[in-house]
Amino acid sequence: MRIVLADDHPIVRSGVRTLLERDHSTVKVVAEASTADELHRALDATPCDMVITDFNMPGGRMSDGLSLLGMLHRKWPDLPVIVLTIVSNPGVLHSIMATGARGLVNKSEALSELHLAVEAVAQGRIYLGAAMEQALQSTQATDGKVALSIRESEVFRLFASGLTVSQIAKQLNRSVKTVSRQKVDAMAKLSIENDIDVYTYARRHGLL
């Protein structure tokens, strides 16, 4: 089982690599990446059977996790992807799975669940960690009831991270008019009336 591992924190990569290879001689991390661009280059150059990636990796052209996962699915549609993340917002988690990801594991539970996720996904099954399954099934989180589209979620979170509408349009290769409309639509769905409250909402609801 050849795995490409992506995370912007070298300590996390080292820990995950050790966890994967220590007890299973059939698992080998064949390449590592710290940005979305590095992951893209690694997959172009290195044959592999699976990708394990963080959701948000700063830097490069695809710092938004949904853009990254969408690119992976379009270019390598048959390559299984497991997402390791601390994101707990049900809306974002649903969007992650909608991109074609096969596994979803909370970083805090990786020690106990990552091997299970790898085995399940390698067998063609979808794996949701316990915390992720609970979050996806939750009906108490208000944001979980809000149906943002994948593109609205991308724009909203990038705007909350500090990018301007023009910068988001350039990064996502969309028109400024389209991005502006998606931002306004997302804010309307979330009942946010001004830009100042976007960041506060995003942090409070785990959207970043």
pLDDT at 200: 82
Q: Is 127 helix (H, G, I), strand (E, B) or coil?
A: strand
pLDDT at 199: 84
pLDDT at 206: 65
Q: Report, as an integer, the average pLDDT of 182-197.
A: 87
CATH 1.10.10.10 in the chain: give the residue spans: 146-204
Q: Where do you find CATH 3.40.50.2300 in the chain?
A: 2-137
Sheet holding 103-106, edge to edge: 28-33, 2-6, 50-54, 81-85, 103-106, 127-128
Residue 1 pLDDT > 80: yes
Q: What average pLDDT does the chain have?
A: 85
More confidently predicted of 23 and 33: 33
Quote the pLDDT of residue 40: 92
- For the chain, report the end-to-end CA distance as a whole number of angstroms: 32
Q: List the Cα angle 100/93/109 in 5-degree steps.
A: 105
pLDDT at 171 exceeding the cut of 50? yes
pTM: 0.71
Give the pLDDT of residue 93: 85
Mean pLDDT comparison of 1-10, 55-64, 81-90, highest-scoring range: 1-10
Name the CATH topology of 2-137. Rossmann fold (3.40.50)
pLDDT digits (tens, 9 = 90+) for 32-48: 999 989 999 999 999 99
CATH of domain 146-204: 1.10.10.10
Provide CB contacts within 8 A for 190, sequence distance 6+.
143, 146, 148, 156, 201
CA distance 157 to 206: 10
Interatomic CA distance for residues 153 and 121, integer angstroms: 26
The answer to whether the CB of 112 falls within 8 A of the CB of 135 is no
